[in-house]
Chains A and B, each alone.
Chain A
């Protein structure tokens, strides 16, 4: 069965600095998708970034980028130029490439951006 592990329950960063959140996963599949979701205090789930396993190039969305290491089964999120609005829970999630695409989630990392 697939599992997703986030080993950092809490992190903090100064505004404008860069922070990296870690995620590892376990799967025997070769084709799958990885995601980072942000959950602010409103508890809305917001997609931050997505990576297809068959793509070697790391995904980037503005200030957010990932370091996808397929062999190591690692999928870290880098937030550059951190902003106060980035304060949230961040969840790493996995889905296989089949018809259902249910998400399997990590426990989350609580990120605080300090002024």
Chain B
């Protein structure tokens, strides 16, 4: 089965530093998402991306966050100035189409620790 690849699997950073989380969606997929999971809390939607632009973002996705699809294969999430509360598992997901039976594929996640 095709896979969504996320790198790195773990990232440790100092508060105030910028981090870039990388995702390689499945090659023929058109819809991309970032979710995060703070330990012990609900998985939360951050942002969706289609046709090279954000299609929806949550309240969490403030000016400190940005997404990019720089080269047609990678899909990145940047946090400009990390805060302690950004510590979470970040999941990338992709989907080929919006048809009813289209499956959403998740990556293995990047565990971000902000110290």
Q: How many residues of A contact B (CB 8 A)?
A: 20
Contacts of A99 in B (CB 8 A): 55, 98
**Which secondary structure dominates chain B's binding surface?**
strand
* CB of A25 within 8 Å of the partner chain: no
Cross-chain contact A45 with B106 (CB below 8 angstroms): yes
Tell which of A33, A100, A107 has the most Cβ of chain B within 10 Å.
A100
* CB of A56 within 8 Å of the partner chain: no
CA distance A33 to B101 in the complex (A): 10
A65-103 to B contact mask, C-beta < 8 Å, 1/0:
000000000000000000000000001010000011111
**Are A102 and B108 also in contact (CB < 8 A) when A47-B103, A107-B41, A107-B42 are?**
no
- Taking the closest CB of chain B, its distance from the CB of A21, in whole angstroms, is 16
Residues of B at the A interface (CB closer than 8 Å) are 31, 33, 35, 41-45, 48, 55-56, 89, 91, 93, 95, 98, 100, 103-104, 106, 108-109, 111
